């Protein structure tokens, strides 16, 4: 883990004159939060409350919807605070206020989880990590056979998209699943170039390749594993149509693998999912990644092994919600 330097004061936001009130925690033993904006439709509280109820813990995970960081950081000083999930727009902005980053958080450059640890001198350390990459890894490994997983190692992978999730997906495919080369498919070349540059600076950019045309896609070996990290929409611009054509070519190759479709709101029946199913790919829903990244957070916060967490109960509770909410 790497130490950050100092704790800058978060700048006041004149547009947010009154921060949201701090929730009452007097009835709780411990409390955690989701920091972000907007977050009203998040499934995270249901996931974590299912864990705490199953373990008979008087803990709570609360939504704290704020477009600014200052009131969020204030909540971390509560003696009952034991951690927080972080989503947009704070996943990058929160980094300067943390004492320690894990290798995953540092490499991906975005934090979705805050947790507490103690320094050798007893000081309370605010630590940050990224469990999105763990969610992607586990969603794939938990839904494929040992032989399928072995087949991914050394072969090409593919990531569709160029946003924040793309970096976590690249990290998971390179570091955990052992993909030698990763094809990057996106409507915006500049976004992909930024991903390649940042991943290279962090030491896991070898073998990243932007696929810029259908003709190029036709010449490439089939990917063994794919992560789709784009919203579901009908392509309209020429760049969007080109990217969709590349996806169709790559998924129609003779060799098939597993595809994780991260988008499941408003429906998991996305265009990419339909292309994958039509071509015989093993389709894994994005709710799986959401579940496993959340369980990884509880492993960290509660200092428990995954085998002690109610995995099947969490899946049972969240499965009916897949089409009606998002993280």
Summarize pLDDT for 111-128 with one digit per residue, the tens. Answer: 999 999 999 999 999 999
**Whole-model pTM over 0.95:** no
> For the segment 41-66, what is each residue's pLDDT rounded down to a tens digit?
889 999 999 999 999 999 999 999 99
Q: Please report which residue ranges of 19-87 form alpha helices under DSSP H.
A: 44-54, 70-75
Q: Any bridge partners for residue 129, and if so which?
A: 113
Please tell me the distance from the alpha carbon of residue 172 to that of residue 139, in angstroms, as a whole number.
Answer: 11
* Longest CA pairwise span in the chain (Å): 62
Q: What is the pLDDT of residue 320?
A: 80
Of 232, 156, 167, 161, the closest CA to residue 197 belongs to 167
Q: What is residue 8's predicted lDDT score, i.e. its pLDDT? A: 53
The DSSP code sequence of 8-62 is: PPPPP-TT-SSPPPPPP-TT-SEEEEEEESS-TT-SHHHHHHHHHHHTT--EEEE
Burial call 170-185: b when 16+ CB within 10 Å, e when fewer: bbbbbbbbebebbbbb
> What is the rounded CA–CA span in Å between residue 129 and residue 269?
31
pLDDT in 10s for each residue of the chain, 327 residues = 544 444 554 544 445 446 789 899 999 999 999 999 999 888 999 999 999 999 999 999 999 999 999 999 999 999 999 999 999 999 999 999 999 999 999 999 999 999 999 999 999 999 999 999 999 999 999 999 999 999 999 999 999 999 889 999 999 999 999 999 999 999 999 999 999 999 999 999 999 999 999 999 999 999 999 999 999 989 999 999 999 999 999 999 999 999 999 998 778 889 999 999 999 999 999 999 999 999 999 999 999 999 999 999 999 999 887 655 444
Q: For residue 201, which phi and psi values (nearest 5 degrees)?
A: -60, -30
71 three-state secondary structure = helix
């Amino acid at each position: 883990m790497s130490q950050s330097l100092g704790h800058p004061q978060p700048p006041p936001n004149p547009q947010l004159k009154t921060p949201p009130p701090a929730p009452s925690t007097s009835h709780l033993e411990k409390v955690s939060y989701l920091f972000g904006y907007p977050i009203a439709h998040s499934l995270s509280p249901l996931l974590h409350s299912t864990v705490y109820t199953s373990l008979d813990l008087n803990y709570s995970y609360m939504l704290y919807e704020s477009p600014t960081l200052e009131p969020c950081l204030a909540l971390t000083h509560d003696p009952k605070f034991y951690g927080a999930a972080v989503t947009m727009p704070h996943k990058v902005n929160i980094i300067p206020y943390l004492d320690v980053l894990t290798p995953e958080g540092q490499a991906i450059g975005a934090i979705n989880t805050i947790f507490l640890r103690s320094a050798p001198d007893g000081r309370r350390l605010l630590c940050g990590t990224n469990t999105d990459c763990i969610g992607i890894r586990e969603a794939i490994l938990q839904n494929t056979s040992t032989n399928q997983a072995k087949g991914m190692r050394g072969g090409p992978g593919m990531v569709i998209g160029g946003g924040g999730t793309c970096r976590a997906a690249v990290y998971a495919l390179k570091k955990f699943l052992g993909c030698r080369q990763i094809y990057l498919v996106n409507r915006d070349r500049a976004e992909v170039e930024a991903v390649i540059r940042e991943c290279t600076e962090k030491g896991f950019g070898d073998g990243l390749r932007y696929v810029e045309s259908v003709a190029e896609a036709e010449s490439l070996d089939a990917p063994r594993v794919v992560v789709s990290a784009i919203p579901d929409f009908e392509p309209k611009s020429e760049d969007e149509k080109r990217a969709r054509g590349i996806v169709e070519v790559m998924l129609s190759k003779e060799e098939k693998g597993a595809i994780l479709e991260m988008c499941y709101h408003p429906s998991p029946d996305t265009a990419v999912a339909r292309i994958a199913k039509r071509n015989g790919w093993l389709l894994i829903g994005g709710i799986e990644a959401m579940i496993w990244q959340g369980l990884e957070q509880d492993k960290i916060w509660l200092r428990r092994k995954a085998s002690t967490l109610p995995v099947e109960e969490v899946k049972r509770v969240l499965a009916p919600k897949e089409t009606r909410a998002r993280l």
